[in-house]
Structure 1
Amino acid sequence: MKIRLKLTLLFTALFSTLLLMFALTVYASFSNNREEEYYKRLKSQAVTKAELLLEAKVPPEVLQLIYKSSPNSLFEEEIAIYDENLKLLYHDSVELDKVKETPSMFQDILERSEIKFYTNNLQAVGLLHIHDGKKYIITAAAIDGYGFAILQKLKYRLIIAYIVMVGLTLILGRLFAKQSLNPVSKLVGKVAEITATSLDSRIVVGKGKDEITELGLTFNEMLDRLEKSFKAQKEFISNISHELRTPLSAIVAELELSQNKRRTVEEYRKIIGLTLSDSKKLVRLISDLLDLAKTSYDPSAISFRRVRIDEVLLDARSELIAKNKHYNVDLVFSDDFEQSEALTISGNEYLIKLAFVNIMENGCKFSPDNRSQVFIKMGQENSLILEFKDCGIGIEKEDLPRVFNFFFRGGNGKYAEGNGIGLSLTQNIVLLHKGSIDIQSKPKEGTSVNLEFDLS
C-alpha cells in the first residue's frame, strides 16, 4: 500500500470516528432532552388534572369531556388519580388502562415521591401529590409522537450528513496527501535519474527547514559520499593496475632478455636475482592488498582476543630486524609504564603486529642510519601511547593530509621502495581496534607517528 493511500485512509478514519462520536453525542443529547421535557409535560398535565378534581371539585365525567376536546391534551394521554387507600378517584379511560398500576408501583411512588418509567411504548410518570394534608397518587402516561418524529428526522439527517462528510473527507484527504507528498514524488523522480555516470548531479532543495528539505540534504550528502567512493575506486583500480604492471613487465622483460642469446652463469644469476626481486615486490604488494581488504570489510569476520600490546610490539621489532639485519629499533619505556596484565586490549595479534612493523619499517627505511625509536608510556584515562620517531627525511607539509590515501607516495618516495599501501593499512588496523593515529613531520628533521589504545 502506498503512503499516499495509507495517509488518505488514516485521515478519513480519524475524521470519520470523530464525526461519528459528534453525531452520536448530538443524537443522545437531543433524545435525553426530549425525554426530560416530556416528563415535565406529563407531570404538569397530571398535577393540573389533580387540582381541578380536588381543588375545583370538577366531576370526573366533566373532566374527561374537557380534556378530550382540549387541544393541549397529549397523544394517547392516560392519567389516573388514587387516594391514600389506593381507591381510584379519576381515570381518563378505565376500560383501556394502559399503565396497569400494581401495589409495588404504588409503594415505590409513596417511598420516592416520584418515579419515571416506560410501559407499552408509553412514557409514564408516577407522582405523590399532597392536598389538604392528604396523600394522593397520580400516574400519567402518553406517547410523545411529535418528539419521536423530530428525533427520527434528526437521525436520518445525521446519517446522510455523516455519509456525505465521510465522502468529502475521503476526496479532500486524497488531495491533501497528494499535495503533501508531491515534493517526495519529485525527489524520488530526481533520484531515479541519477546513475553511476551522473553522480555529480545533485537534488535541488528549498530553503525551508521541513522534513522534505532534510531528506533532500541527506540524499545530497549520500551522493557526495558515493561520488567520492566511485572516484576512490577508479583511482584504486588505476593505481593497482600500475603497481601490478610494473613488476610483471620487468619480469617479462628480464626473461625475454635472457632468451635472446646464450649468457654466462654470472649473467643468468643476475637476471634471476632481478626477477626474484621483482617477484618479491609483487608478492609483497598482493599480501598488502589482502591485508588491506581484510581490514576494510566486515570486522565480525576477524577473530579478536585479549592481546598484550607490549609483547606484540617486541615481536614486531624482532620480526623486522630478522628480515632486515641492518635496521635498528630502540624501545624506550617511560618511568610510569607498568608491564602488567592491564596492558591488554581486545584485538587481532597478527594485524596489530603488521601495523607496528609497517611504522617501524618506514622509520628505518627513510632514516640515513636505518634507526627508529619507539617510546611507550601510559596516557590519561587508562590508555597506552606508542610514539614511533625517526630522524629521517620527513614528509612535506602539503603531503601530510594525503599520507593515508591508497598508493600515495610523497616526494620522499624516490628515496626508498614501497607501494603506498602501508600507512593506509596501518590506519585501518588502528581504527579497527578503536585506537587513534596521528602523524607529525618536518622535512629533513624526521617523522613522529603516535598511536593511542584504550586499555579499559
Structure 2
Amino acid sequence: MKLRNKLTLIFSSIVAVLLLFFAVSIYITYSEDREEEFYKRLKQLGMTKADLLIGAKIHPQSLQLIYASAPNSYFQDEVAIYDKDFNLLYHDSSDNDKVKESKEMFERILKEKEIHFYTDSVQAVGFVYHHSGSDYIITAAAVDGYGLAILKKFKYKLAFGFLICVSLTFLAGKIFSIQALRPVTDLVTKTEEITAKNLDLRVNEGNGKDEISKLARTLNRMLDRLEKSFESQKHFVSHISHELRTPLSALITELEISKNKDRGVREYKQTIASALEDAKKIVRLINGLLDLAKANYDSSEIGFKSLRLDEILLDARQELIKQNANYSLNLHFASDFGDDLDFISILGNEYLLKVAFSNLMENGCKFSENKQSTVSINHFKEKTILTFTDNGVGIRESEIPKIFDSFYRGFNSNFASGNGIGLALVSRIVQLHGGTITVKSEEGSGSSFIVELPHR
C-alpha cells in the first residue's frame, strides 16, 4: 500500500473514531435527558390527578372521563393512587394494569420516596405524595411515543451526518496526503534523475525547516560523499594504471630485447636484475594498495587489542633494517615512564600500526643523505606522542597540505623513488586509532612527523 493511501486511511480512521465517539455521546446524552424529562412529566401528571381527586374531591369515574377525552390522551398514561394502607383510591384503567403494583413495590416507594423503572417498554414512576397531613402512594406509567419518535429520527440524522462527515474526511485526507507528500514525490523524481553520470545534481532542500528539508539535506550530503568517492575512484584507477604501466612497460621492453637478441651471461644477468627491480616495484605498489585497502575498512571490522607502542616500534625498526642494512634508526624515550606502562599502551591493530611506523621511519631514512631517522616517545595527559625526525631534503610549505593525499608526490620525488601511497596510508591508520598526525618541515632542513595516540 502506498504511503499516501495509508496516511489517508489512518487520518480518516482517527477522525471517524472521534466522530463516532462524539455522535454516540450526543445520542446517549439526549436519550438520558428525554428519559429524565418524561419521568418528570409522569410525576407531574400523577400529582395533578391526585390534586383533582383528593383536593378537588372529583369523583374517580368523572376524573377518568375527563382525561379519557383530553387532547393529550395519546400518552396512554396510567395513574394509580393508593392510601398509606395500600388501598386503591383511583386507577385510570384497572382492567389493564401495566404497572402491577405489589407490596414490595409499595415498601420500596415508602423507603426511597421516589423510584423510576421500566415495565417492558413502558416508563413508570412511583412516589410518595403528601396532602393535608396524609401520605399517598402514586404510580404513573406511559409510553413516550413522541419522545421516542424524535429520538429515533435524531439517531438516523446522527448516522447520516456521521457517514457524510466520514466521506468528506476521506476526501480531505486524500487531498491533504497528496499535498503533504508532494515534496517527497518531487524528491523521488529528482533522485531518480541522478545517476553515476550526473552525480553533481542535487535535490531541492525546500525551506530548510521541516523534516522533508532535513531528508533532502541528508540526501545531498550523501550525494556529496558519493561524488567524492566516485572521483577518488577515478583518480585511484588512473594513478594505479600509471604507476603499474611504467614498471610493467620497462619489464616487458627489457624482456623483449633480451628475447630478440642473443646476449652474454653478464648482459642477461643485468637484464634479470633490472626486471627483478621492476617486479619488486610492482610488488611494493601492490602491497601498499592492499594495506591502504585494509586501512580503509570500517574500524568496527578491524581487530583491536592492548599493545605497547615501544614493542611495535622495535619490531618495525628490526624489519626495516633487515631489508635495508644501510638505514640507521634511533629510538629515544623523552620521558621516564617508570613502571607505569599505560603511557605507552594503546588499543590498536598491531599489523596496521607496524605498517604506519615502518613507512614513517623509511621515509625519514630514504629522504636523508645519511639514511638516518630518529623516533622519540613522549606523553602528555591522555596521549602518547611519537615524533619521527630526519635531516633530509624536507618538504616545501606549499606541499604540506597535500602530502597525505593518495598518490601525491612532491618535489622530493626526484630524490628517492616512491608511489605516493605511504603517507596517505599512515594518515588513515592514525585516524582509525583515534589519533592525529601533523608535520613540521622546511625545505633543505628535514622533517618531523608528530603522531598523537590516545592511551589505552
Q: TM-score range by the shorter chain?
A: over 0.9
Q: Is the 8 A contact 1:4 1:178 kept in 2?
A: yes
Counterparts of 2:39 and 2:446, CA distance in 1: 106
Shift of residue 218 of structure 1? 2.1
CA deviation profile, 1:355-380 (whole Å, cap 9, x unmatched): 10001111111122222121211221
Counterparts of 1:351 and 1:68, CA distance in 2: 111
Aligned to 2:65: 65
Counterparts of 2:64 and 2:117, CA distance in 1: 24
Establish whether residue 290 from structure 1 lines up as the match of residue 295 from structure 2.
no
Counterparts of residues 427-442 of structure 1 (less than 5 Å) = 427-442=427-442
Counterparts of 2:128 and 2:386, CA distance in 1: 103
Shift of residue 268 of structure 1? 2.3
Counterparts of residues 247-396 of structure 1 (less than 5 Å) = 247-299=247-299, 301-338=301-338, 340-342=340-342, 343-381=344-382, 383-396=383-396
Counterparts of residues 175-186 of structure 1 (less than 5 Å) = 175-186=175-186
Shift of residue 12 of structure 1? 0.3
Counterparts of 2:155 and 2:394, CA distance in 1: 92
CA deviation profile, 1:290-317 (whole Å, cap 9, x unmatched): 1111222354554433222211111111
Q: Is the 8 A contact 2:335 2:379 kept in 1?
A: no
Counterparts of 1:219 and 1:426, CA distance in 2: 31
Aligned to 1:229: 229
Counterparts of 1:392 and 1:339, CA distance in 2: 35
Counterparts of 1:327 and 1:340, CA distance in 2: 31
Shift of residue 273 of structure 1? 1.6
Shift of residue 424 of structure 1? 1.6
CA deviation profile, 1:104-158 (whole Å, cap 9, x unmatched): 1111110110001111211111101112222211100011111100100011011
The residue type paired with residue 347 of structure 2 is S
TM-score normalised by L of structure 1: 0.96
Counterparts of residues 395-406 of structure 1 (less than 5 Å) = 395-406=395-406
Secondary structure at the counterpart of residue 75 of structure 2: coil
Shift of residue 434 of structure 1? 2.5
Q: Which moved more, 1:4-13 or 1:312-321?
A: 312-321
Aligned to 1:217: 217
Counterparts of 2:401 and 2:139, CA distance in 1: 103
Is the alpha carbon distance of 1:339 and 1:244 closer, same or farther for their aligned partners in structure 2, counting shifts above 3 Å? farther
5+ residue gaps in structure 1?
A: none
Aligned to 2:33: 33
Q: Is the 8 A contact 1:406 1:420 kept in 2?
A: yes
CA deviation profile, 1:148-201 (whole Å, cap 9, x unmatched): 001000110111111111111111111110111112111111110111111122
The residue type paired with residue 159 of structure 1 is A
Shift of residue 425 of structure 1? 1.5
Aligned to 2:240: 240
Q: Is the 8 A contact 1:187 1:203 kept in 2?
A: yes
Counterparts of 2:355 and 2:311, CA distance in 1: 13
Q: Count matched residues.
A: 455
Counterparts of 1:445 and 1:367, CA distance in 2: 10
Shift of residue 217 of structure 1? 2.2
Is the alpha carbon distance of 1:230 and 1:209 closer, same or farther for their aligned partners in structure 2, counting shifts above 3 Å? same
CA deviation profile, 1:190-225 (whole Å, cap 9, x unmatched): 110111111122223334422222222222222211
Counterparts of 1:189 and 1:4, CA distance in 2: 16
Establish whether residue 77 from structure 1 lines up as the match of residue 77 from structure 2.
yes
CA deviation profile, 1:382-402 (whole Å, cap 9, x unmatched): x21111122222222222222
Q: Is the 8 A contact 2:364 2:373 kept in 1?
A: yes
Q: Is the 8 A contact 1:74 1:143 kept in 2?
A: no
Secondary structure at the counterpart of residue 95 of structure 2: coil
The alignment's C-alpha RMSD in Å is: 1.6
Counterparts of 2:261 and 2:208, CA distance in 1: 78
Counterparts of 1:319 and 1:208, CA distance in 2: 56
Secondary structure at the counterpart of residue 14 of structure 1: helix
Aligned to 1:6: 6
Q: Is the 8 A contact 1:336 1:378 kept in 2?
A: no
Shift of residue 351 of structure 1? 1.5
Give the % identical residues.
53
Shift of residue 410 of structure 1? 1.4
Counterparts of 2:5 and 2:120, CA distance in 1: 51
The residue type paired with residue 249 of structure 1 is S
